[in-house]
Amino acid sequence: MSPRAACRLELLGFVQVYDYVAGKADWLAHGLSTEGEQAQVPRVKDVLRREVVTALPGEPVGGVAGRVARSPYGFALVVADDGTLLGRLRKAVLDADPSAPADQVMEAGPSTVRADRPLAELAERLRRRGLHTAIVTAPDGKLLGVVQRADMEARLTGRP
Amino acid sequence: MAIRIDLAQLQKLVAGGGQLVEVLPAAEYADEHLPGAISLPLKQLDASTAARLDPARPVIVYCWDGL
């Protein structure tokens, strides 16, 4: 629809016309704020924790283990130079061979969710599967952060 | 032909005074829209409704996903 609108505006004489083709879906999936009647519906972005332990693919996991130990998480996420999520390092591999490169021992391609997903829906899904954390990525695969079930439930119930 | 832009370019244009225009139906705009966007549904887009826009400033249109 936006390409047609852009063309129409040019025919009406506008000369500086740009088309954000990825549109509202892309904006929402990046966890950015919105306005309107549905803007207050709790979404994943509302409890997104952006500070998460990351490691580069070739980094020895020994150094990563120290950072994880000082964090509230029991895992690290492996990301490329451009922030693209590649994998997850669970506690077991962090405690194993400290010289192992992250990309050799990571769990590749972990499941992720989008930042605009309704919070209640994801909280229920995690509860059913007995999971406590979900990884959040943008549509281009870049890591945005993680969400924790406890944060979601606190947000949904209004109880800290 | 309009220039296709990504999110980073959009944010730069808006910061520089660009006018953000949602071209979806008004009900969808009422539900949720990008901050500061105005509603100019494609079906109502003509010289009269477009008069709300400043022709001297960039205009950035968007819908749900470009389709």
State the average pLDDT over residues A37-64.
94
Cβ neighbours of residue B3 closer than 8 Å, sequence gap 6 or more: A17, A18, A19
CB contact under 8 A, A1 and B67: yes
CB contact under 8 A, A23 and B59: no
Q: What residues does A55 pair with on adjacent strands?
A: A78
Tens of pLDDT, residues A89-98: 999 999 999 9
B1 falls in which pLDDT band (50, 70, 90)?
confident
CB contact under 8 A, B2 and A12: no
> Which residues does chain B have within 8 Å of residue A142's beta carbon, measured at their own beta carbons?
none
Tens of pLDDT, residues A51-69: 999 999 999 999 999 999 9
Q: Annotate chain B with DSSP letters as a single string.
A: -PEEE-HHHHHHHHHTTPEEEE-S-HHHHHH-B-TT-EE--GGG-STTGGGGS-TTS-EEEE-SS--
CB contact under 8 A, B23 and A33: no
Residue of B nearest to A139 (CA): B7
Q: Give the Cα separation of A8 and A49 in Å (integer).
A: 42
**Of residues A2, A9, A26, nearest to B7 (C-beta):** A26
Residue A160: pLDDT over 80? no
Chain A contacts to B (CB-CB under 8 A): 1-10, 12-28, 30, 32-39
B19 touching A (Cβ < 8 Å) = no
| Best mutation target, B1, B3, B5, B7, to test chain A (most A CBs within 10 A) | B7
Report the complex ipTM: 0.96
Tell me the pTM: 0.81
B21 touching A (Cβ < 8 Å) = yes
Check residue A112 and report its DSSP letter: E
Contact A134, A112 (CB under 8 A): yes
Q: Give the Cα separation of A37 and A93 in Å (integer).
A: 46
